[in-house]
Structure 1
Amino acid sequence: MPNTDAILITTLAERSELITRVYEISEIWPAFMRHDPVAVALLDLVPEDFPRYCVVATDGERVVARGLCVPFDAEAEGREELPDQGWDRVLAWASHDRRLGRPGTTASALEITVDAEYLGQGLSYRMLGAMRDAVGRQGFGTLLAPVRPTAKHRHPYVPMTEYIGRLRADGLPVDPWLRVHVKSGGRIERVAPASMTIGGSLAQWRRWTGLPFDRDGEVVVDGALVPVECGTGHDYAVYVEPNVWVRHRTRTGDSDIR
C-alpha cells in the first residue's frame, strides 16, 4: 500500500510542468463517460486555462490524483448559480467567459480523480480541501460541485432525489462520495437532473458497453447512474446523467470576502 503521507498536493499554477501530465492516472471511469461532447471539446483545456483553480497530487515523480475546477460568471444574463444542466453547463460557461475575458463570480469543481492504486486512503478528502483552499485564494467564498455519487450506479432505477435522502444511522449520506463532501463541510443543495448528456448511435453504444442495444426502452449499463434510453427505430440511444449540487464555503468565504 502506498505511503500517502509523502504525497504532495499543489495547484497546477505552482507546478506548471504537470499540466500536461494530469491524465497520467490509472482511472476506472466507464468507457461511455469519455463521450460527453462538452467534455470532449473542452475538458482537456481546463488544466492549462485555469491552473490556479486546479490541484494535483504527486507521490515522488508520479501523478496520483487531479482535481479540476473552473470559475464562471453566474450572474450573467440567462444564467444561474446551480443550473439544471450542471457539469456540462458550468464547463461551457467557464470556457466562454475565459474567451471573452469575463471574470467569474463563483467557482465549480468538475472532478476529483484518484489513481486506482491510491483509492480508499483518504486522498479524496485532501484533494477536496486543497481545491477549496485554491478557490478561496482566488477570492471566492464558495466552491460549488455537481457531484457524481459513486454508488448510485448500483441503484439505477432509484430517483436521485430519493437516493440523496438515504442516510446512515449517523445521519451522513449512504453514498461514499456524497459523504466525503458532507463530512468536509459541504451542504447538499439540490439535484442537477441533466448534468451530463451523452448520445450516440446504437453501434457506438455497443462498442462502449458490450451490450446489444436491440430493444426499445431503458437499458441498464454498468457504471451508469440511471438507465440509458434506447430507440431502435432511430438508431440512437441517449444517457442523461443527474448529479447533485453541493456547496462548500472556503476560508475566504468564512471571512465574508466574495
Structure 2
Amino acid sequence: MDLQVATLAERPDLAPLLDDLLGTWPRFLHHHPLSTLFYTSVAPRHPGFCLVAVERSAPDRPVAKAYSFPVSWAPGHLPPDGHDAAIMTAAGDLFDGRRGRLVVGVEVTVETGWQGRGISRVMVDAMRSNAARHGFATLLIPVRPVHKHREPEVPLAGYAARTRPDGLPADPWLRTHVRAGGQIVGIAPASMTLAAPLADWREWTGLAFDAPGPVRVPEALVPVWCDPSHDSAVYVEPNVWVRHALR
C-alpha cells in the first residue's frame, strides 16, 4: 500500500468523485439536516482542509477522505452539540468573515474495500499535519466511537472511559485517535440531532416504528425515540470530544 494524501486545493479534480466514496455511515445519517449545509457551503469553501487519499498507482481513484475546517471557537470550548455546532459555527464564520482559531474534524471515510489496512490512522495523521501546516495549534474532533452501536443503552461517558490492559481506549476508533496523539477531553451529549416523520424512519431502517418509546436501530449509538402520536422520531447522538494538541 503506497498512499498519497492531498488537499482538494491541490487536487480539485477529485472533488466530484468523493460522493461515490462509500464508508460505513448508517443510512439514516445520510439524511442529517446539516449535511446539505456542510457539503454545499462549508466544505467547498475550505478545500485546503479537505483531504483525499489515493494509491500512487491509481492517482485518480480516491480511497479515503477526511473533512475538517477552521472555526472561531476558543481552544477550550466544547459545545454539547459538538458536530452540529461546528458546522453551524463554520457557516456563520464564513458569512460574517470571522477568522478560525482552531480546526474541527468531522469525518473520516475509508472506502469499504480498503478498510482494515490502517488508512484511518493515515487520515488522522494527515488532518493533524495539515492543521499544523496552516498554523493552528489545536485539532478538535467529535468522535463517533465505532463499536458503541453494539451497546446503545450504555452511557457514552462510561463507554469512552473503558480501557485495555495497556491503558489505551477499548474502542478501536478512540484508540486510533489516542495513539495519534489525541486526548479524550469530554462528551458532546447532543452532537448530532435528526428528527423526521415515522415514514422516513421506516424507509431508512426497515423497522416498524409503531410504538412509543426507544427503538434500537442498527448502527445507532443510542436508541431513537419514537412518538407515534406526533408522527415523528428523534435521534440525538452523543460523540466523544478528542483534542489533538499540535504544538
Match of 1:74 in 2: 73
1:32-111 pair list within 5 angstroms? 32-59=28-55, 60=58, 61-75=60-74, 81-111=77-107
| CA apart distance, 1:27 | 2.2
Match of 1:234 in 2: 230
| Structure 1 spans left out of the alignment, 5+ residues | none
| CA apart distance, 1:80 | 6.9
Q: CA RMSD in A?
A: 1.4
Opposite residue 147 of structure 1, the aligned amino acid is: V
Count of matched residue positions in the alignment of Structure 1 and Structure 2: 244
Match of 1:199 in 2: 195
Match of 1:220 in 2: 216
| CA apart distance, 1:56 | 0.4
Match of 2:138 in 1: 142
Opposite residue 61 of structure 2, the aligned amino acid is: R
Deviations 1:67-123 (A, max 9, x none): 000111014xxx972110000010111111012221111110010000011101011
Opposite residue 130 of structure 2, the aligned amino acid is: A
Opposite residue 11 of structure 2, the aligned amino acid is: R
Opposite residue 73 of structure 1, the aligned amino acid is: S
- Counterparts of 1:192 and 1:34 in 2: how far apart (Å)? 20
Q: Matched residue of 2:123: which SS?
A: helix
| CA apart distance, 1:17 | 1.6
Opposite residue 72 of structure 2, the aligned amino acid is: D
| CA apart distance, 1:42 | 2.3
Kindly, what percent of the aligned residue pairs are identical?
A: 46
- Counterparts of 2:230 and 2:53 in 1: how far apart (Å)? 45
- Counterparts of 2:129 and 2:94 in 1: how far apart (Å)? 21
- Counterparts of 1:221 and 1:178 in 2: how far apart (Å)? 22
- Counterparts of 1:19 and 1:226 in 2: how far apart (Å)? 32
- Counterparts of 1:29 and 1:109 in 2: how far apart (Å)? 16
| CA apart distance, 1:184 | 0.6
| Structure 2 spans left out of the alignment, 5+ residues | none
